[in-house]
Amino acid sequence: MAQPYSQLPRWVDYGLIPLINLTVAFLVAGLVVLAVGENPLRAAVLMVEGAFGSGDGIGYTLYYATNFIFTGLAVAVAFHCGLFNIGGEGQAYIGGLGVAVGCLAFDSVFPWWINLPIATLCAAAFGGLWALIPALLQAKRGSHVVITTIMFNFIAASLMVYLLVDVLKPVGQMAVETRPFAEGASLPRLDWMIEAFGFTIRRAPLNITFLLALITSFLVWILIWRTRLGYEIRTMGHSPKAAQYAGINTTKIIVITMMISGGLAGMMALNPVMGAQERLQLDFVTGAGFVGIAVALMGRSHPAGIIPAAILFGMLYQGGAEMSFEMPAITRDMIVIIQGLVILFAGALEHMFRPYISLFFGRIADSSLKAAPATTGEGH
Amino acid sequence: MIEAFNTIILILDSTVRLSVPLLLACLAGLYSERAGVFDIGLEGKMLAGAFAGAAAASVYGSAWIGLVAAILVSIALSLVHGFASITHRGNQIVSGVAINFIAAGSTIILGQAWFRQGGRTPPLGSDGSRFETINLPFADSINGIPVLGPIYSELLSGHSILVYVAFAAVPLTWWVLFRTRFGLRLRAVGENPAAVDTAGISVVWLRYRAVICCGILCGLAGAYLSVAQNAGFVKDMTAGKGFIALAALIFAKWKPINAMYACLLFGFLDAIAIRFSGIKIPGLFEIPAQFMQALPYILTVILLAGFIGKAIPPKAGGQPYVKER
């Protein structure tokens, strides 16, 4: 296949083009706000104020961002292998089951610093196992992982309703949730972090899983770019044929990658289930698995991009909630539109502006070539 | 005995009603995917169509205007999908996911802004703003005849026109795809676009026409949900039907007649889950209702695992076409 576009400088590829795509997505979202009869600029100001204007605002922003870092990493790891794991939602939901199992078993036995690793392992194992069948079907039968992971999202939803209503709910309790976890499964808050900047924090459930998310991001970076497995994953993503030719066991790589991806999605459950609600509730994922797709696309599947993208979406979630107090016409569902637009412009239409940009940079390179013929030997 | 028979008729009747949106969306996906454009966005297009249909029907007081609006909005989203995945060769899955989110969010935001009823549209009444049920001739007079009477008057008669349109669309789709030149080319472009291109036929235009067909049918499905089956739009009213339709499409191995059977099967499962909240097998155990709800997805996964024949998607599905240069 012919290479349709010329090579661009790295900062254009990883900085300018995503920025342009994102700007267009937000401009279109602004048009929607305009159509509803509100001022988009005021909406944006309200949103930023709601997200960063107070200690609790920042706390909630980072709390949501924690979820999106995990789900974003999950999608990103699969992307590197050329797989589209759309099942983060279901894997996170089942991961929550893992967290609950771990916490309910040991919450009155161990302190939190033993329970957190146990719950993390359970969450990752449950999420990873939930991705196993789609992975096997992709690897062995060639059935598209997108379809199977969608199916597994729905199966997870039904399974969790069944388990919570009929199995995990204490007898005689009305609310569909497990019993509250005991003291031993209560995670430390990060209030000191916000207070160090002179803000006060009261309600926001920002907890230690935020730091865990940052550490996990670093580990994912090491995995993808500094290990043999990561090399094989990326090779597979670039060209499955080349990977096979190089003697890489593609079946194994697909299964391992999907399980890592599912495990990362499952770890997202730590934050809401263990860190905030301290019990397992219905529908605690609330779309975070899908936000992960937007976050991974925006962050270009790199942890260094995923963290800011996750914080941006955390800002949208928190700021959007605050904004809807002031602008009742715009509910939190505005975020769903923005999410869709980001996925559209940063994902499906990511190359829309590329030809124009490469034309522009091609001209610049041409003129600099004429001005300084001595540099012709170097590629641009 | 009579009791059991009547129950069966009732379940089959609701099977028909429940399978119609699945069937329309499934056929929509069929056109698109047969032309090599995967469409995860059936759900979103159906939802947007349902909203536009109910909104227009309530404002203009006409179910037909609602139907047209539903189709137009759904086509518009199809064209967005086409623009991203055909013209700009973007990832078709990503584009479909985007459309689902855009539809899910904007139907609520616009619904709230326009009607201020918590994302609902005003209820559609009997003033022509909702599709009425059609009674087939003699439906009342032969109701008394045992067995055949109820089958005719309860099961076949008494549905809205969109139900009959949906079932008529099945042979029509078969005819279009397998007996017309357009259909031949459409299938060819999903298997081997380069060959179609070599024959001097525009791959891009052909695929655009396929996604427009998809848009029309998704619009019909949406309008059925909000203007015929229900009296108005409720937020997130598609509730995963677009994905069940997608599952049905795979289950049907991308064939129109099979699609009808698959949708009837999934509709039947849904009807049973609604009729009996959980099936009790006396003395043994109880099948929970959640299992029935999950069954279409489980069956599709089992199918994909290769236990019920093999589902082979169109060969060029999911790949943007790049002319050699």
Question: pLDDT tens digits, residue range A41-61?
Answer: 988 898 899 898 888 899 999
What is the model's pLDDT at position A378? 40
Across B104-127, average pLDDT? 84
Instruction: State the total domains in chain B.
Output: 1
List B residues 229-248 in contact with A (Cβ-Cβ < 8 A).
240, 243, 246-247
Mean pLDDT of chain A: 87
pLDDT band, very low/low/confident/very high, at A368 (cuts 50, 70, 90): low
Residue B163's domain spans which residues? 17-123+145-239
Burial annotation A16-51 (CB, 10 A radius, 16+ → b, else e): ebbebbbebbbebbbebbeebebebeebbebbeebb
Across A351-375, average pLDDT? 70
- Give domain status of residue B257, yes or no: no
pLDDT band, very low/low/confident/very high, at B153 (cuts 50, 70, 90): confident
Across B37-41, average pLDDT? 91
What's the CATH number of domain A39-328, 1.10.3470, 1.20.120, 2.60.40, 3.40.109?
A: 1.10.3470
What is the percent of chain B with per-residue pLDDT over 70, rounded to a whole number?
94
**CB pair distance less than 8 Å for A141 and B306:** yes
Across A223-245, average pLDDT? 93
pLDDT tens digits along A155-196: 999 999 999 988 888 888 888 888 889 888 888 888 888 888
Across A268-285, average pLDDT? 92
What is the model's pLDDT at position A377? 41
Q: Does A16 touch chain B (CB under 8 A)?
A: no
For A31-100, give the DSSP string: HHHHHTTS-HHHHHHHHHHHHHSSHHHHHHHHHHHHHHHHHHHHHHHHHHTT-----HHHHHHHHHHHHH
Give the contacts of B140 (CB within 8 A, at least 6 positions apart): B153
**CB-CB neighbors (< 8 A) of A333 in chain B:** 104-105, 108-109
SS3 B287: strand
What is the model's pLDDT at position A247? 92
pLDDT at B74 > cutoff 90: yes
The Cα–Cα gap between B238 and A206 comes to 34
pLDDT at B293 > cutoff 90: no
* Tokens at B237, concatenated: 């009213």
What is the model's pLDDT at position B136? 77
Lowest mean pLDDT among A6-10, B128-132, B187-191, B207-211: A6-10
Question: Which amino acid makes up residue A307?
Answer: I
Which residue out of B26, B37, B81, B106 would a mutagenesis test of the A interface target, given it has the greatest number of A Cβ atoms within 10 Å? Answer: B106
With residues binned 3-state (H G I as helix, E B as strand, rest as coil), the percentages for chain A, rounded to 5, are 75, 0, 25
**CB-CB neighbors (< 8 A) of B85 in chain A:** 348
Across chain A, the runs of DSSP E, i.e. the strands, are: none
Q: In this complex, how many residue pairs, one in chain A and one in chain B, have their CB atoms less than 8 Å apart?
A: 152
DSSP assignment letter at A184: G
**CB pair distance less than 8 Å for B102 and A151:** no
- How many residues appear in chain A? 380
Q: Are B268 and B70 in contact (CB under 8 A)?
A: no
Give the contacts of A354 (CB within 8 A, at least 6 positions apart): A5, A8, A17
pLDDT tens digits along B198-227: 999 999 999 999 999 999 999 999 999 999
* Tokens at A98, concatenated: 């893992």
- Give domain status of residue B275, yes or no: no
What is the model's pLDDT at position B283? 59
- Give domain status of residue B8, yes or no: no
**CB pair distance less than 8 Å for B88 and A148:** no
The full set of domain ranges for chain A reads 39-328
User: Does the ipTM surpass 0.90?
Assistant: no
- Give domain status of residue B301, yes or no: no
**CB pair distance less than 8 Å for A151 and B94:** no
List A residues 156-215 in contact with B (Cβ-Cβ < 8 A).
157-159, 161-162, 166
Across B105-128, average pLDDT? 83
The Cα–Cα gap between A224 and A76 comes to 10
Lowest mean pLDDT among A7-11, A121-125, A129-133, A318-322: A7-11
What is the percent of chain A with per-residue pLDDT over 70, rounded to a whole number?
94
